[in-house]
Amino acid sequence: MSSHAPATPLGIDPAGTVHSSHEHHELGFWRRYIFSTDHKVIGLQFLFTGLVMLLFGGLMAMAIRWQLAYPWTEMPLVGKILFPETGGVATPEGYTMLFTMHGTLMIFFVIIPLLTGTFGNFLIPLMLGAPDMAFPRLNMIGYWFWWPGIVLILLSFGAEGGGPAAGWTSYPPLSTIETAAPGSLQGQNLWLLSLTFVGVSSMMGAINYVTTIVKMRAPGMTYFRMPLSIWGLFISALLQLFALPVLTAAGFMQLFDRVLDTGFFTPTNTTINGLTPEAGELAAGGHPLLWQHLFWFYSHPAVYIMVLPAMGFASDILSVNARKPIFGYKPMAYSMAGIAGLGFIVWGHHMFMSGMNPAVGLVFMTATVLIAMPSAVKVFNWLGTLWGSSIRLNTSMLFALAFVSMFIIGGLSGIWMACTAVDIYIHDTYIIVAHFHYVVFAGSVLAIFGALYHWFPKMFGRMMNETLGKIHFVGTFIFTNGVFYMMHQLGIAGLMRRTADPYAYETFAHMQPMNQFISICAFCLLFWQVFFVINFFGSMFLGKRVGRNPWKACSLEWVAPSPPGHGNFDRELAVHHGPYEYGVPGQREDYCPQTVEIDAAPTPVEEPVLA
């Protein structure tokens, strides 16, 4: 326990930055920073690794955009690295590899680890008032199980025939028959093994999150006093627990098909390039649709894993900076559960055109459109939260507001593709690309930025620079829309995704100028992240030091020192009410931390906030 903390009415040390752990025991460098069992260090490990992978995935997106804007011309900067044999000009098989790996990296190595790995680890114990995760060692192993996945996926670039190139969905038989694509040689095996490691890593995380949330809440922290960030992380962890085993099993089935010549997904009498297949494949007796069912049984819930925590972060940031309780707390929690529950019975909407029985499509359609209902409830409640509030337009708030604005677009465009008849035309066109990038990039990634600006003071004990942050926000917001908005119209005009050079078709020949506009916006979007990188790393060392609660927020993580020491809290915690008690009438301050009873709230002792 900190020795120099005078007992204030809140029991909070006004000096703020207390490293109480150091008085207990000193850990060596390796145990403290590398093989740490501290949830905060593991969270930061996920953060830094995830940001590096974000850069890789982003560069791949740029290569894709170059090819779509200026097909078969020399790609500047990354071209020589990606396509050394052709002097920097993309090859058709290289292009298929690029979008396969862009999708794979962004989903499994960026978005899911940043949302659940980083913020799940960092926030869950802090927001619940727990000293650490339920299984700290499992938590550490979880992070280190991610690394074989990273190594294998990076190695696959150098595999014979190049990286995997069957799309991030990896549909057989393209992915299972070695002669079907260059990337289906060794590259696909590495892809499957990599995803297995990533899955095990996520599983360990999910077990930890669920156990911690169920068993380690501080006294008084009932389920319905948890911040919505925790609800988002809790529900997405449950989704992972139920869905991931299916993907892992399916991945092994595909690996067996490839390595042991089993025939789960290979139909009888498949010939590739006119070659008679091997004896085993002749009578394989499998079915390609089986993979699609298994894959989407995981990967559709995975879409909600990629957005539910972001919804939680946005809710928390909105409420703190609107200085007003979240509107409809319980409907917000129930709607997340509703999205997750429905999320398990809608996977077939990826398969409307697949040859699946069309009657089944009708069932999947009805379930799918209904997901828009809880999503709408969330949007209305966010608007309700802002109504009658007093908004602080700081950087994290701007990103949270942008999340709401962008999620409206991504959510609404989903209705078209949920509808079987309309989907006949728009399936696999750019309107789909627009839709999922509005949810996952303009939604989740912007929410991640907002969450980083919001929780950075807790992570590092310093503020990020607000001016740089606002510059970062404005450019990111403009260029994000510049990149993704017109993809809707391209899709409505029929433009197909995953085509290396669409302009050879009469239908698409006139679309190159629009694609050039989109690509230029994409290059600017990536370049603009320089402001974030400078701000993020600069503020880590030069940012203004802050106390425990710079945003004057109610939830428990702001009761801990910034950054919290080992064991997180330097006092006993008792939770008296929900996490969003802002603007309570008759109080001297406009917020009541969860540790303070409302009717007896004294003036919280805390230094002022910057604008």
Partner 1 sequence: MKFNLFRVFVVLLFLAVPVLGVWTFVDAERWKMWFPEGVTTYAGEIDFLFDIILWMVAITFVGTEFLLVWAIWRFSKKEDGKVTYTHGNHTLEVVWSAVPALLLIFIAFSQMGAWSTIKMNFPDEGPYTVDAPMMEVIAGQFDWWVRYPDEEGNFRGEDVIDVPFDIHVPVNTKVVFRLKSRDVLHSFFVPKFRLKQDAVPGMSIPVWFEATETGSYDLICAELCGWGHYKMAGRVHVLEEQEYEDWLSQKRSELYAND
In the region spanning residues 576 to 595, those forming contacts with partner 1, defined by CB under 8 A, are 580, 582-585, 590
Shortest distance, CB of residue 519 to partner 1, whole angstroms?
16
Nearer to partner 1 by C-beta: 14 or 388? 388
Nearer to partner 1 by C-beta: 22 or 498? 498
Nearer to partner 1 by C-beta: 462 or 488? 488
Q: Is 327 in the site for partner 1 (CB under 8 A)?
A: yes
Shortest distance, CB of residue 524 to partner 1, whole angstroms?
16
Q: Is the dihedral of CA 78, 184, 355, 301 positive or negative?
A: negative
Give DSSP secondary structure letters for 183-233. Answer: GGTHHHHHHHHHHHHHHHHHHHHHHHHHHHHHH-PPTT--GGGS-HHHHHH
Integer Cα distance of 269 and 173 in angstroms = 12
Q: Is 345 in the site for partner 1 (CB under 8 A)?
A: no
| Cβ-count burial 220-256 (b if 16+ within 10 Å, e if not) | ebeeebbbbbbbbbbbbbbbbeebbebbbebbebbbb
Residue with tokens 């999340």: 403
Nearer to partner 1 by C-beta: 389 or 549? 389
Of residues 388-417, those binding partner 1 (CB under 8 A) = 388-393, 398, 401-402, 404-405, 408-409, 412-413, 415-416
Of residues 448-477, those binding partner 1 (CB under 8 A) = 470, 474, 477
Contacts of 548 (CB under 8 A, 6+ apart): 12, 13, 16, 558, 559, 560, 561, 562, 606
Of residues 228-287, those binding partner 1 (CB under 8 A) = 267-273, 287
Nearer to partner 1 by C-beta: 34 or 373? 373
Binding mask 501-540 for partner 1 (x = CB under 8 A): xx-xxxx--xx--x--------------------------
Shortest distance, CB of residue 151 to partner 1, whole angstroms?
26
Size of the site for partner 1 (CB under 8 A): 118
Q: Exposed, middle or buried: residue 408 (CB in 10 Å: 0-12, 13-18, 19+)?
A: middle
Nearer to partner 1 by C-beta: 59 or 166? 166
Of residues 131-190, those binding partner 1 (CB under 8 A) = 165-167, 171-174, 177, 180-182
Q: Cis peptide leading into 136, omega within 30 of 0?
A: no
Binding partner 1 by CB under 8 A: which of 154, 155, 241, 289?
A: 289
C-beta of residue 117 within 8 angstroms of C-beta of residue 185: no
Q: Which two tokens stand for residue 476?
A: 């990111």
Nearer to partner 1 by C-beta: 138 or 372? 372
Q: How far is CA 462 from CA 177, 198, 544, 545, in A?
A: 53, 32, 5, 4
Integer Cα distance of 218 and 593 in angstroms = 14
C-beta of residue 69 within 8 angstroms of C-beta of residue 512: yes
DSSP secondary structure code for residue 496 in this structure = B
Binding mask 200-239 for partner 1 (x = CB under 8 A): ----------------------------------------
Of residues 48-107, those binding partner 1 (CB under 8 A) = 91-93, 95-96
